[in-house]
Structure 1
């Protein structure tokens, strides 16, 4: 499981600990099996604690609570994710500037292919 998926899982569960695996699957764009695998991995790392409770339909449900080490990992991943996205933003910004210069230096006639 890559750090982006770990970050998203921890962020989603931090904001809504009672999300179901199906809801996580939809939010993440992953299969239920993949979500189950990822949840098991973060539980094994000690980042999430699972609690059972009865939901409104009187069915057994789970609440996924971030542990203190899970909150630390979420913060660490947030900084890592921020650095990656900032770098991507700067690269795209540079590409856009280059394209603007190319467009300004081009005439319509030079764009038409014979």
Structure 2
């Protein structure tokens, strides 16, 4: 099972690829706010799991340009990852809301 950080990066990367398949790894890294190495690591794992495929732009002047696209399996897995990510964020929200209420009580508000 991936760590929560990896799950979040997978979710973010799958979302970015779905929206902007033409982004380079360097651009993806910048959008994610992580290193190029980490982006490459997560992207490679997604490709190996069959969730993403890469290919050259057929008509690109820059023949080294790649497009990353979600596979049908990747689209299904994105739904699963999105659901897990949402559940984790909702639990985090509930904990933060309880902490805020407790702090208000401590301050007598």
Determine if the TM-score, normalized by the shorter chain, exceeds 0.5: yes
> Is 1:100 equivalent to 2:104 in the alignment?
yes
Per the TM alignment, residue 27 of structure 1 is displaced from its structure 2 partner at its CA by 1.3
Aligned equivalent of 2:70: 66
Superposition TM-score, scaled by structure 1 size: 0.83
SS of the residue corresponding to residue 104 of structure 1 reads coil
Gaps of 5+ in 1: 106-114
Match of 1:12 among 12, 16, 25: 16
Q: Distance in 2 between matches of 1:70 and 1:43?
A: 9
- Measured on the aligned residues, the alpha-carbon RMSD in Å equals 1.4
- Larger Rg over CA atoms: 1
After TM superposition, the runs of 4+ consecutive aligned structure 1 residues lying more than 2 A away are: none
- Deviation string 1:4-41 (CA, Å, 9 cap, x unpaired) is 11111111101111111111111112222221222111
Q: Distance in 1 between matches of 2:86 and 2:95?
A: 14
Match of 1:44 among 37, 43, 48: 48
Aligned equivalent of 1:32: 36
Count of residue pairs brought into register by the alignment? 103
Gaps of 5+ in 2: none
Q: Distance in 2 between matches of 1:88 and 1:37?
A: 27
Superposition TM-score, scaled by structure 2 size: 0.87
